[in-house]
Structure 1
């Protein structure tokens, strides 16, 4: 290999101690102070938000994903502070930092699935999308159409997003190893000499992986956005997406200014300064993002008046126990394995994996007969007129039924609901 990787660091030793170089305040110390103060504020805000969720842990499936998302600003702030403080090891910190982005994106998808499932009978996202008709893919593949009722749809969406939680840590670990052996060479950029080093190939893998993950997330969000009304899904999505976009684009801008506007100093190379400015900016931004997340993922949504406060330990354990990720990933892999084997339930939307026919729009939301002419026992003995009222079919694929509330007054005209029967008896969403 003829090309050599230029060092990111100077030979001169930097200021090793905050207090050990006199009373003067140079730019490095000012930045050090700002980064540390912002990191502390971010940690405090996020800690309060997480603890409020932990003390009102009334929906485990949703809140375990929310807590994972709330970890994003403090993790970014703390790691960015250390990457500023120990700027000679910036690459190691930045690779570790971006790995958590994959966890956050995957947690957000699972949160959306829980929101959608809450609007359907049986708490099933698959049931919720049974009403969806064939439609175009999002840009840039809008010339192709897809049918969300196909068995493979949900598995494909999950895998499209969650492959990132597998590949991104692998890319980060590989990058750290390459940095140790001096073959990563981020400072070369994407010029002709970049093909001799590992960074360009790892960046290409990461770009394809995150693009696929975000596309899958946008596809699912566009499909179910009507079911998400009232849950502030756009604010929740932006709280994550803006962090990803801000960190990516500002890093690109600082790299572009390197060697042109950004000049080296005695202790810092131009690369050090660009990396330091990026880390300092992230620390400042995370203060605002942590406040935005407090609002977007408000603990008030799960506060039950008069209910006893929950222990914080179970929620904290749930948030760092990623077994649900493992189950989702291997569940999708098993489905695709069965798909390649030609298993009938994986190729046809007419039958579900449990051997029963798939439900249409009305059936999925409890307003139509289930399984063709075979009616559930709880409605088999009703009169013909009453069945016409209770089970009127829907012919409009795009309309949305608002989630039912347990306190709805009646299910039959002129007849009060029997409180001794469960909500699902009357077609109420769980």
Structure 2
């Protein structure tokens, strides 16, 4: 049976200097600080470009939320390096924000293909499911969309809840970061956060996989990759360092120059600081602001108002609040209201006529009508671009 008593941390002398009177923690702190400064400058420059060209708030607010993710992670990592004793209280801040950023990325993808909430369910109801060979199954994607919605928007509150458990177990002495025993909070918080992260990221990847053609003009793959790298690096590092720091043979080898805290806290957080610089640079190429230049005919919002709008998370909270509706399948009149709203929008709009989304007759799933998607260039004047699913 695993021990129910948290094993003591390795006892070592006070940290000794490794170079020029600097301990390893000091070196980590100096290097990490330089990385945080670079990350902040790079990310804030991209944010400013979007705020200065804030002509599509529905999309750009999500982009701004995603591109500041490296700043949150690097700052939390730097504070963890500076105060080893407080690291386990500070580190979760980056991971909690990551959950909200992934939800923002999902909303961005949803808006690319179905920008009107009133007709969104109609769109997914008529979008055919594909099997593994890419053939239509005759079923719509509405059920899949609702499941993905639930998974992605459960991610932020569950992540917050798991880290609240971490803070509580830390305060009560039940966390035990140097043990992988299921008797302690460390085991369960690590396990559950990794599980929900895997489910949420997989849901976004599946959404992209089904809708990559209509989203192609926005280059969603690179957006997904640049954000997924943040999730991937943090996921892998948390597993590796959680296992290594809990290994007794590794703990026994720690000394005064390379302490247990340097291994379990300092080194992984330094790696996070370094990685965020590279990811912030990558986002300059994957979340460009050029397509939102003011010559698109839309009125540009003032930079200050754009800043406030981008960090108003009410749309994320509303999406989370809709989870029970998604789980219940909506009210009995939800589908009819959705289609009535869709038809009214179609007939009353000054846009060009859209393809009929009426469900096909039985047995004609393979000959379903083409769908209408809005291109990046024609979103404002509503010219339709017909793409095969």
Residue 200 of structure 2: aligned partner: 213
Deviations 1:369-397 (A, max 9, x none): 5769xxxxxxxxxxxxxxxxxxxx99745
Deviations 1:113-156 (A, max 9, x none): 111125xx888443443542233379xxx9xx793344x44332
1:168 corresponds to which of 159, 168, 184: 159
Question: Following the alignment from structure 1 to structure 2, what is the Cα–Cα distance between the partners of residues 63 and 235?
Answer: 16
Residue 201 of structure 1: aligned partner: 188
* Superposed displacement of residue 296, structure 1: 0.7
Residue 71 of structure 1: aligned partner: 68
* SS of alignment partner, residue 187 of structure 1: coil
Question: Following the alignment from structure 2 to structure 1, what is the Cα–Cα distance between the partners of residues 264 and 339?
Answer: 59
Q: CA RMSD in A?
A: 3.9
Question: Following the alignment from structure 2 to structure 1, what is the Cα–Cα distance between the partners of residues 328 and 193?
Answer: 25
Residue 30 of structure 1: aligned partner: 27
Structure 2 gaps of 5+ residues are none
- 1:238-277 map, 5 Å: 238-258=225-245, 263-266=253-256, 269-277=259-267
Question: Following the alignment from structure 1 to structure 2, what is the Cα–Cα distance between the partners of residues 100 and 400?
Answer: 35
Residue 293 of structure 2: aligned partner: 303
Deviations 1:45-104 (A, max 9, x none): 111111111111010000111111011001111110111111222211222221111111
Question: Following the alignment from structure 2 to structure 1, what is the Cα–Cα distance between the partners of residues 374 and 48?
Answer: 28
Question: Following the alignment from structure 1 to structure 2, what is the Cα–Cα distance between the partners of residues 256 and 405?
Answer: 45
Question: Following the alignment from structure 1 to structure 2, what is the Cα–Cα distance between the partners of residues 188 and 2?
Answer: 10
| TM-score in terms of structure 1 length | 0.74
* SS of alignment partner, residue 195 of structure 1: coil
Structure 1 gaps of 5+ residues are 373-392, 409-421
Is 2:143 the partner of 1:148? no
Larger Rg: 1
* Superposed displacement of residue 270, structure 1: 2.4
Question: Following the alignment from structure 1 to structure 2, what is the Cα–Cα distance between the partners of residues 71 and 166?
Answer: 20
* Superposed displacement of residue 406, structure 1: 8.1
Question: Following the alignment from structure 1 to structure 2, what is the Cα–Cα distance between the partners of residues 60 and 274?
Answer: 41
Question: Following the alignment from structure 1 to structure 2, what is the Cα–Cα distance between the partners of residues 137 and 345?
Answer: 33
Contact 2:24–2:257 under 8 Å retained in 1: no
Deviations 1:257-291 (A, max 9, x none): 44656732227642542321110111111111001
Residue 51 of structure 1: aligned partner: 48
Deviations 1:189-226 (A, max 9, x none): 2xxxx121122222333233222212321221111111
Contact 1:117–1:123 under 8 Å retained in 2: no
2:310 corresponds to which of 311, 315, 319: 319
| TM-score in terms of structure 2 length | 0.81
How many matched pairs?
370
